[in-house]
């Protein structure tokens, strides 16, 4: 198992060529920053994560967090408390948040790069700051001044962590089925009673307080999602002077025994077993779901990033193993000096798997970083038209980042196991952990089926189809640029052009037949998400190849590295992108066969 090495060179390539980092620093919110400062911060963060967080990944998986019933507490694995204290002391959690809340004032893009590093290094550990960021985001947008003053600064610094309490035993993706009750009190507080499940880091020993954000229903609230409110429920009540007061009536009653991310305690939380948990309403009653959607884009982007991060970590392990493991003799490759078997990295099928992983990683990193850059532009650009165009891009790419990103992350971690062969099925090799950790990413923050329905049902109709059409027109312009670049990129051009035509035709079919019967659109949604994701990945890899060729022609940079970028883009377009054509019939098959077999016959 390889030591984690943050891929700074690949990260900087995307920052330099696929997003406008200088333009981002020119925005009024970031005038104090420049590209060199940002890269310096990322380099230091990469060092910290590799040295402090990554070494705990293995013990986190083998030991896991432990629930102690006698005290209703959760004990994290050895080393986690100290590592988290160092994380807080260094201020890493606050880097992408406003300075007014003791944050670093950096763009969200920078936070996303840092999330990649920590998620690759130790996904289970990363869940604590990730969930805290979501809670911070919601409170910043919808909390009142007293709530912001009381909670935000210590959450931004990481001294206190945050959770999101949505799911209940009967209410998974259907949040409208929530039954947890919130009864108003004469002093303006509420008393909450109910049970929440699947609460990541709902209880732990790394921070002195945990700020739970809880969805619940007030008396006489409307049914469904229209009757859900959002509340702050701290583990310890906070006194007026900021000190911690009494323990609130909220506790963990068990933790789940999971397939992966075992060091991240996934808790069953009980609210109000005694007198009712003291809670504070965020905003207005019955607006909880709309408040949750405030942070949904950034949360889903972060989950998509986990697919990228685990693919990167698994690739590093598989690459190192392929350079050490000997098996068979590679054709037309000189035998090792000792005359023995070849290293498996020289076997064509192993190289195919490695290049598949590498091209997936490069495509996902481009998609997710572009998505994060657009999020920053949508939030901070002074021109309203520019903000709107970027917000449309954010909305279009979010289901791709989350759904396609996690699907491909799972495939890449599975390929790493295959590179290892039989040893990949053995836990001691370490590589199965990446697959097990990755598997949850396609499920939470909205299953990937929900992402597909969002893409087809909400994103395709945006601006009467204009948003999708604009994106595909940009791809068409890219095809023209590839054509002008010459023979070296001709294969990328041809594959991209034929895939673009296929996606256009499929969008037209979904639009026409989905309007006629929504079941047609829903039946084709998941294969369409993959189809569109493949095209989006190709679009940005083609951009990457054009930039690499321009640098080579100008005599700038490391020619070997730049040629590798072109080769990876070409491999993706020759080996993965043709999947677009193969998926057309799946998208356009309609819904009839899905219901042609009786339930009893399935």
| CA neighbor of 278 nearest in space, from 243, 239, 242 | 239
Q: How far apart are CA 19 and CA 82, in angstroms?
A: 36
DSSP class of residue 598 equals: -
Q: Rounded to an integer, what distance in angstroms lies between the CA atom of residue 26 and that of residue 22?
A: 6
Are 114 and 92 a contacting pair, CB within 8 Å?
Answer: yes
Measured distance CA(210)–CA(269) in Å, rounded: 12
> Which CATH number is 8-294's, of 1.10.3720.10, 2.30.42.10, 2.40.110.20, 2.40.160.40?
2.40.110.20
Instruction: Catalogue the active-site residues.
Output: 445
Using left for φ > 0, alpha for ψ between -120 and 50, and beta otherwise, residue 286 falls in left
Q: pLDDT for 551-562, tens place per residue?
A: 999 999 999 999
Contacts of 126 (CB under 8 A, 6+ apart): 53, 115, 118, 119, 306
What is the distance between the alpha carbons of residues 308 and 7, in angstroms, rounded to a whole number? 12
The CA-based angle 130-132-137, given to 5 degrees, is 100
d(CA 51, CA 133): 23
Tokens of 154: 């210590």
The pTM assigned to this predicted structure is 0.96
Domain boundaries, the chain: 8-294, 295-444, 447-602
Closest C-alpha to 160, from 277, 244, 45: 244
Instruction: Report how far apart, in Å, the C-alpha atoms of 34 and of each of 22, 37, 40, 382, 427 are.
Output: 7, 5, 10, 18, 44
Query: What gap in Å lies between CA 293 and CA 296, rounded to an integer?
Result: 5
**Beta-carbon neighbour count of residue 13 at 10 Å?**
22
- Closest alpha carbon to 35 in 46, 49, 20: 20
Per-residue pLDDT tens digits for 314-340: 999 999 999 999 988 888 788 777 778
Residues 6+ apart with CB under 8 A from 447: 173
Query: How far is C-alpha 11 from the geometric centre of its chain's CA atoms?
Result: 16
Tokens of 395: 């909305």
Q: What is the DSSP string of 124-185?
A: HHHHHHHHHHHHHHHHHHH--HHHIIIIIHHHHHTSEEEEEE--BTTBSS-GGG---EEEE-
Render the burial of 381-409: b for 16+ CB within 10 Å, e for the rest.
beeeeeeebbbbbbbbbbbbbbbbbbbbb
Considering only CA atoms, give the Rg of the chain: 25
User: Which of the residues in the chain have pLDDT under 70?
Assistant: 171-176
CATH T-level topology, domain 295-444: Butyryl-CoA Dehydrogenase, subunit A; domain 3 (1.20.140)
Please tell me the distance from the alpha carbon of residue 341 to that of residue 325, in angstroms, as a whole number.
9
Q: Which two tokens stand for residue 580?
A: 């677009």
């Amino acid at each position: 198992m390889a030591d984690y090495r943050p891929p700074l060179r690949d990260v900087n390539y995307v920052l330099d060529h696929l997003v406008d980092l200088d333009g981002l620093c020119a925005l009024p919110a970031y005038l104090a920053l420049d590209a060199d400062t940002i890269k310096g911060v990322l380099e230091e963060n990469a060092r910290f994560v590799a040295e402090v967080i990554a070494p705990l990944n293995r013990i986190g998986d083998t030991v896991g967090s432990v629930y102690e019933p006698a005290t209703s507490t959760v004990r994290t694995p050895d080393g986690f408390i100290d590592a988290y204290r160092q994380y807080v002391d260094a201020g890493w959690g606050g880097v992408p948040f406003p300075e007014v809340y003791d944050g670093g004032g950096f763009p969200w893009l920078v936070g996303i790069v840092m999330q990649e590093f920590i998620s690759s290094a130790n996904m289970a550990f990363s869940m604590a700051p990730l969930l805290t960021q979501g809670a911070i985001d919601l409170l910043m947008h919808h909390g009142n001044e007293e709530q912001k003053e009381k909670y935000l600064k210590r959450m931004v610094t990481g001294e206190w962590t945050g959770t999101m309490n949505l799911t209940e035993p009967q209410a998974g993706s259907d949040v409208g089925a929530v039954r947890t009750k919130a009864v108003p009190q004469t002093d303006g507080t509420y008393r909450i009673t109910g049970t929440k499940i699947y609460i990541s880091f709902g209880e732990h020993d790394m921070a002195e307080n945990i700020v739970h954000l809880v969805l619940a229903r007030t008396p006489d609230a409307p049914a469904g999602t229209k009757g859900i409110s959002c509340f702050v429920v701290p583990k310890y009540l906070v006194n007026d002077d900021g000190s911690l007061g009494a323990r609130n009536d909220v506790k963990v009653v068990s933790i789940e025994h999971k397939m992966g991310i075992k060091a991240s305690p996934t808790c069953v939380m009980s609210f109000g077993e005694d007198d009712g948990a003291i809670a504070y309403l965020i905003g207005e009653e019955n607006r909880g779901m709309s408040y949750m959607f405030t942070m949904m884009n950034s949360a889903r982007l972060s989950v998509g990033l986990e697919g990228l991060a685990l693919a990167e970590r698994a690739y590093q392990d598989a690459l190192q193993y392929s350079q050490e493991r000997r098996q068979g003799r590679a054709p037309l490759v000189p035998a090792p000096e000792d005359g023995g078997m070849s290293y498996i990295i020289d076997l064509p099928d192993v190289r195919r798997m490695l290049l598949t992983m590498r091209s997936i990683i490069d495509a996902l990193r481009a998609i997710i970083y572009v998505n994060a850059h657009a999020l920053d532009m949508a939030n901070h650009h002074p021109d309203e038209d520019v903000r709107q165009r970027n917000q449309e891009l954010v909305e279009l790419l979010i289901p791709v980042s989350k759904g396609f990103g996690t699907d491909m992350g799972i495939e890449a971690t599975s390929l790493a196991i295959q590179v290892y062969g039989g040893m990949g099925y053995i836990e001691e090799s370490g590589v199965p952990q990446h697959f097990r950790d990755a598997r949850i990413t396609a499920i939470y923050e909205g299953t990937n089926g929900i992402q597909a329905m969002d893409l087809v049902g909400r994103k395709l109709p945006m601006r009467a189809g204009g948003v999708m059409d604009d994106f595909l027109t940009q791809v068409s312009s890219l095809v023209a640029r590839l054509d002008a670049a010459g023979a070296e990129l001709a294969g990328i051009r041809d594959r991209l052009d034929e895939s673009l035509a296929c996606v256009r035709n499929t969008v037209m079919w979904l639009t026409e037949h989905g309007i006629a019967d929504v079941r047609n659109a829903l039946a084709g949604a998941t294969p369409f998400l993959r189809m569109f994701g493949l095209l989006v990945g190709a679009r940005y890899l083609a951009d990457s190849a054009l930039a690499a060729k321009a640098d080579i022609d100008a005599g700038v940079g490391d020619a070997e590295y730049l040629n590798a970028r072109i080769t990876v883009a070409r491999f993706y377009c020759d080996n993965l992108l043709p999947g677009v054509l193969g998926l057309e019939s799946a998208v356009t098959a309609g819904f009839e066969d899905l219901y042609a077999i009786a339930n009893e016959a399935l």
